[in-house]
A and B are shown apart, each in its own frame.
Chain A
Amino acid sequence: MVLNSMTGKSTKQYVSFRIDDYLMGIDITKVREVNLLLDITPVQHAPDFVRGLINLRGQIVTVLDLGIKLGRTDREITQDSHNIILKHDDVGILVDSIGDVIEVFEDDLEIPPANMDMAVSYIDSVIKLDKELMMVISPEMILEHSDLNPQPVKMG
């Protein structure tokens, strides 16, 4: 949390990224790094949303495909694909493209609307940006609910 010097209001920074068309964000303090290690070794028999394992400088990191969790199909690796490696638990998230770091006022965070299935969506809150909405995902919830079956998220 950073105090914005201009307004004096506290702000937070999010790494923005896209999975399919969704604009999503993740708290920058929970991200270890963003990389291009896309040589992912698939793990057969693993749950769908587990994309596979990568070698992060000698450490094995499990890469998840959140798109599956959101009811989409497998990510296709393109030249825009990136891994966002989380700070905890040797977990990475495969995303279709990586965006800017977005700084928002805490006031702009809103809890997800009632018609979103909170339990499986990992959506912590929604940020109303000028042009579109950004879903903020919670790494803790990903790790906690990873044993659940993927269920599509109801969204407009």
Chain B
Amino acid sequence: MGDQNGKCSSAGFDNDFITEIKDDLDLLEPDLLAMEKEGSRVGADLINHAFRAIHSIKGGAGFCGLRDLGAISHSMENVLMRIRDGRLDITSEIVDALLAGLDRMKLMISNLGTGTPVEFLREKQILDGIVVEGASPVRQPSFSDLPEQSGTGKTKPPVSPPGTICPDSASLDSAGNLSFRGRSFKVEQEQLERAAREGKFVYVLVIEAKKDIAAKGRNVRALHDDLVSTGEILYADPDLSDMGSGDAAAGDSFFAIVLATILDTEFLAEVIEILPEQILRLDPPPLGKVVASPLSPPLDARPGPIDSVASQASEREAIPVPVREDSTSKPPRDTGEEAHRPEIKKPGETIRVSVDLISRLMNLAGELVLGRNQLKPLIEGYAREDTGVNSVMQNLNLVTTEIQEDIMQLRMQPVSILLGRFNRMVRDMARILSKEVELVVQGGEVELDRTVLEGLANPFTHLIRNCVDHGIETPQERKALGKPGTGTITIRAFHQSGHVHIIIEDDGRGMAPDRIVRAALDKGIISAAKADGMTDKEKIGLIFLPGFSTADVVTDISGRGVGMDVVKTNIEQLRGVIDIESEPGKGTRVQIIIPLTLAIVSALILGTGQFRFAIPQINVSEVVFLKPGDLQNSVESINRSDVMRFRGSLLPVVRLRTLLGMETLFEDSASGAIKTERRHTIADRRNSKAEPEGQDLRARKNDRRKTDWGAVYVVVLKVGNNRFGLCVEDLYDMEEIVVKPLSHFVRDCRCFSGATILGDGKVIMILDAVGMAAFAGLRFDAVNAEAERRKAREMEARATEVQARNVIIFSSARDEFFALPLSRIARLESIRIGDIHRIGSKRFMKYNDSTLSLVKLEDMLPVSPCVMDDPELHVIIPKGISMQSGLVVHKIIDTMEIARALTRDATSPEGVEGKAFIDGRLVQFLDLDRLAVLMQNQLTVTT
């Protein structure tokens, strides 16, 4: 069936209706999801809300002649109606079907005007199938079964007392006669059937000529036109079309009209400008004969959607009524608890405004503020003379500020608009992956600028998808781990220090840092050396690197890697910061900090020379003030680069005017002329001898280095985890600035991220910290890499003990060589054999007027005995051991510096660190600390 026929097929379809249908579709989705969640405990108000939405979609579709949309919405309405009546229990399958139908409808709306028909028969058949299956015999009594309460009886009092509202529906008697408000109507049964087939309601209207036509300045012709435009007139008494525009507007005459239309009662009343009490809706006729097979494709338009599905019983109810909130109707309606839903705003409280208009208003408000600011100094003079001026100015001030704030407020939207969308995604993904996931949103009311919100949609989709896909385990796994079977993803939004924080947290399996590193190594994203020194947090941060996001890696590491670099870029484009923490087995936490609005940022205004610049506050870590005298002490130069000692480490300092290549002007204190500063770096100033010629003596005597330079400020800027100092001469206020984008002529200037207009009307540039760091050639990456490399090297060195050290090499037996670190030796003594005195097995010598115990290596180590027959022997007196003793050795060979890996193997006895070949000799390196213990044992045991 060719949809998009009639007036909607052209581009000229009624935009307002389409927008409303879209809104209703958006309303429907959360309701359906909530219904699924609540299951059988679902509240009537929720169903009614959903019902209302689908019903007005159907109405709008009919109004615009969108038949496909009408058909599928009708099927959905049927399902919802059965749920409402308690004849159908909500199951995930049903919600699936409803959501599928919803998706079709969304597609139909978005395809409007393209002329592309949307296939929807399958979805419709599923929906219709649910209705047929679910048509359980146990029917709750519904209002259409209660004719005596619904005002259909002919015995009903002719006119309702004022203020009462007539029930919504009524039936005809068998002859097709009906009485309503004292009028009688005649409706052909066949007309009713046809209307029902076309998905229309049949209404009986009583219109008073005086009240409804004359009093409103209308005429009969207009009324007739209105009626024809909304539907089909089945019966009219007197016949409207016969009347001219002039007559019958007066008098007490009534018009009795039967109208078939797709509009619901309230809407109809609105369109033809009568009270709802004047309208009576007819039940559709019992249509036993027109029931079609549910599977019959409704390709030919006539056997329309309405009758294609149901039995007579259900058909009698097929005209659904959204329960009116203001209804004071007598019959006890199905639920009774149709509580007013607070989030449904009554018409009149909101209006639609185009975003363009708001943007224009924003700009105008900006200009108003500007004008106010410019006016201020001009008027100050008068204010002193005339106090009246002052109060006027103050008033203007206040109003201007408020206007600006309110207009800004217009652009703000609650994050729930964005986060609400994810319910559906989480649900669908969880079902596909057979997981159980609950999405909890806290702080949905936190408001963000529209542009920011739009920019967040994409990264958030990535993040939440990752949570469900990789983070949350299957219910079985979770239970095995002692976690609840249902995983929880919590999104919290809150304000903190002028920024909005959004935290996405899951209780899934988290990320294992080592596996991320391994994946990164496999991908060649980082080097092994770099990986060694990384903290766990840094390892997890690897997932933000571009190139990490290939599918095999992602599944491999069981983490989130899908386009995380894109996520990061997106967040950074919004001037935001993203941070990720994860604990294996416990879950992952992503924290995002974003500014409230994109257009307005709080910035520090600073200046150098005659120029001012703005730097966003988010980049500023702190400001250091250097007094003229301090400058020389604080900023030092390494190879023409300026650094500052800052909190115990060196902070690279960049001078703004040097960075921007501005001529450094200064006022010569002697002549008052503006001259060009010739030195390039701050540190040059310290070197007074390098002062270029040409400075006259007086200037020098005045020490213009101090007077002209005055004080400087070092603004410490954050770039990620790195910091650098920006040296400027002047510091002004913090100001809320409106960021204006740069034109393409100047977009390539890396140091600037935009421009703004200050209160005094002056255009200034907004500095970009990242760009400046890059432009100044601050190699943060290289420095970090170098730091990592050194750390790694140090660790490596410690591991293999390749540390250069000075050793003394000596021999004990003739061809056995040993080494001891020189640093551990207190003294070398040359002795003769006769200097050694014995007491039993112990040997002593006289040393510094006292006795020194002597040991030989063979006493402690499995080595050959020391050569004792040479006339000259040596004693090595080590230091740093508890018992004073000397080691008797044969010859001191050499002292040397070695940096060589020692081999330590099973042949090395205790007390030997390892061995190495030095100059062709095999040298055993002694471990003095171990040796000392052995020495002590030796000396004490033998006592």
Q: Which residue of B lies closest to A91 (CB)?
A: B743
Interface size on B, residues (CB 8 A): 26
Beyond A43-B749, A45-B661, 18 additional contacts (C-beta under 8 Å) are: A39-B761, A39-B763, A41-B762, A41-B765, A44-B661, A44-B662, A44-B765, A45-B752, A46-B745, A46-B746, A53-B755, A57-B367, A58-B757, A59-B363, A60-B757, A64-B745, A91-B743, A146-B745
Known: A60-B740, A60-B757, A62-B746. A43 touches B764 (CB 8 A): no
Q: Does B798 contact A (CB under 8 A)?
A: no
Interface residues in chain A, defined as those with a beta carbon under 8 Å from any beta carbon in chain B = 39, 41-47, 50, 52-55, 57-60, 62, 64, 89-91, 146
- Chain B, 719-778, CB within 8 A of any chain A CB: 740, 743-746, 748-752, 755, 757, 761-765, 775
21 interchain pairs (CB within 8 A)? A39-B761, A41-B611, A41-B755, A41-B763, A41-B765, A42-B611, A43-B752, A44-B661, A45-B749, A46-B745, A46-B746, A50-B745, A50-B746, A52-B763, A55-B757, A55-B763, A58-B363, A58-B757, A59-B363, A62-B745, A90-B743
Return chain B residues, CB-CB under 8 Å to A90. Answer: 743
A41 contacts B764, C-beta separation under 8 Å:
yes
Return chain B residues, CB-CB under 8 Å to A59. Answer: 363
Min CB distance A51 to B, Å, is: 10
Q: Does B660 contact A (CB under 8 A)?
A: yes
In whole angstroms, how far apart are the Cα atoms of A58 and B757 in the complex?
7
Min CB distance B445 to A, Å, is: 33
In whole angstroms, how far apart are the Cα atoms of A44 and B767 in the complex?
11
Return chain B residues, CB-CB under 8 Å to A55. Answer: 757, 761-763
Known: A50-B746, A55-B757. A43 touches B740 (CB 8 A): no
Q: Does B366 contact A (CB under 8 A)?
A: yes
Q: Name the residue among A52, A58, A91 with the largest chain B CB count within 10 angstroms.
A: A58
Min CB distance A23 to B, Å, is: 25
Q: Does B429 contact A (CB under 8 A)?
A: no
With beta carbons under 8 angstroms apart, the residue of A42, A45, A50, A52 that contacts B751 is A45
B367 contacts A44, C-beta separation under 8 Å:
no
B749 contacts A46, C-beta separation under 8 Å:
yes
B764 contacts A44, C-beta separation under 8 Å:
no
Return chain B residues, CB-CB under 8 Å to A58. Answer: 363, 366-367, 370, 757
- Chain B, 810-832, CB within 8 A of any chain A CB: none
Min CB distance A117 to B, Å, is: 21
**When each residue 604-641 of chain B gets 1 if its CB lies under 8 Å from chain A and 0 otherwise, what string results?**
00000001000000000000000000000000000000
B660 contacts A45, C-beta separation under 8 Å:
yes
With beta carbons under 8 angstroms apart, the residue of A41, A44, A62 that contacts B743 is A62
Min CB distance B44 to A, Å, is: 54
In whole angstroms, how far apart are the Cα atoms of A54 and B660 in the complex?
19
In whole angstroms, how far apart are the Cα atoms of A148 and B686 in the complex?
42
Return chain A residues, CB-CB under 8 Å to B746. Answer: 43, 46, 50, 53, 62
Return chain B residues, CB-CB under 8 Å to A60. Answer: 740, 743, 755, 757, 763
Return chain B residues, CB-CB under 8 Å to A54. Answer: 763
Return chain B residues, CB-CB under 8 Å to A62. Answer: 743, 745-746
Return chain A residues, CB-CB under 8 Å to B662. Answer: 44
In whole angstroms, how far apart are the Cα atoms of A50 and B742 in the complex?
12
Return chain A residues, CB-CB under 8 Å to B749. Answer: 43-46
In whole angstroms, how far apart are the Cα atoms of A60 and B755 in the complex?
8
Return chain B residues, CB-CB under 8 Å to A46. Answer: 745-746, 748-749
Across chains A and B, which 8 residue pairs bring their CB atoms closest together, nearest first?
A: A44-B660, A58-B367, A41-B763, A45-B749, A62-B743, A46-B746, A53-B763, A43-B746
Min CB distance B657 to A, Å, is: 9
Known: A60-B755, A62-B745, A90-B743. A45 touches B763 (CB 8 A): no
Return chain B residues, CB-CB under 8 Å to A39. Answer: 761-763
In whole angstroms, how far apart are the Cα atoms of A98 and B748 in the complex?
31
Q: Which residue of B lies closest to A50 (CB)?
A: B745
In whole angstroms, how far apart are the Cα atoms of A89 and B888 in the complex?
93
Min CB distance B162 to A, Å, is: 57
Return chain A residues, CB-CB under 8 Å to B366. Answer: 58
In whole angstroms, how far apart are the Cα atoms of A59 and B755 in the complex?
10
Return chain A residues, CB-CB under 8 Å to B740. Answer: 60
Q: Which residue of B lies closest to A41 (CB)?
A: B763
Min CB distance B400 to A, Å, is: 14
Return chain B residues, CB-CB under 8 Å to A53. Answer: 746, 755, 763, 765
In whole angstroms, how far apart are the Cα atoms of A42 and B366 in the complex?
23
In whole angstroms, how far apart are the Cα atoms of A60 and B757 in the complex?
8
Min CB distance B256 to A, Å, is: 62
In whole angstroms, how far apart are the Cα atoms of A50 and B752 in the complex?
15
Q: Which residue of B lies closest to A51 (CB)?
A: B745
In whole angstroms, how far apart are the Cα atoms of A149 and B46 in the complex?
66
In whole angstroms, how far apart are the Cα atoms of A59 and B359 in the complex?
13
A45 contacts B762, C-beta separation under 8 Å:
no
In whole angstroms, how far apart are the Cα atoms of A46 and B662 in the complex?
12
Return chain A residues, CB-CB under 8 Å to B751. Answer: 44-45
Return chain A residues, CB-CB under 8 Å to B748. Answer: 45-46
Return chain A residues, CB-CB under 8 Å to B367. Answer: 57-58
Return chain B residues, CB-CB under 8 Å to A43. Answer: 746, 749, 752, 765
Return chain A residues, CB-CB under 8 Å to B765. Answer: 41, 43-44, 53
In whole angstroms, how far apart are the Cα atoms of A13 and B818 in the complex?
103
Min CB distance B356 to A, Å, is: 16
In whole angstroms, how far apart are the Cα atoms of A59 and B662 in the complex?
26
A47 contacts B762, C-beta separation under 8 Å:
no
Return chain B residues, CB-CB under 8 Å to A64. Answer: 745
Min CB distance B77 to A, Å, is: 51
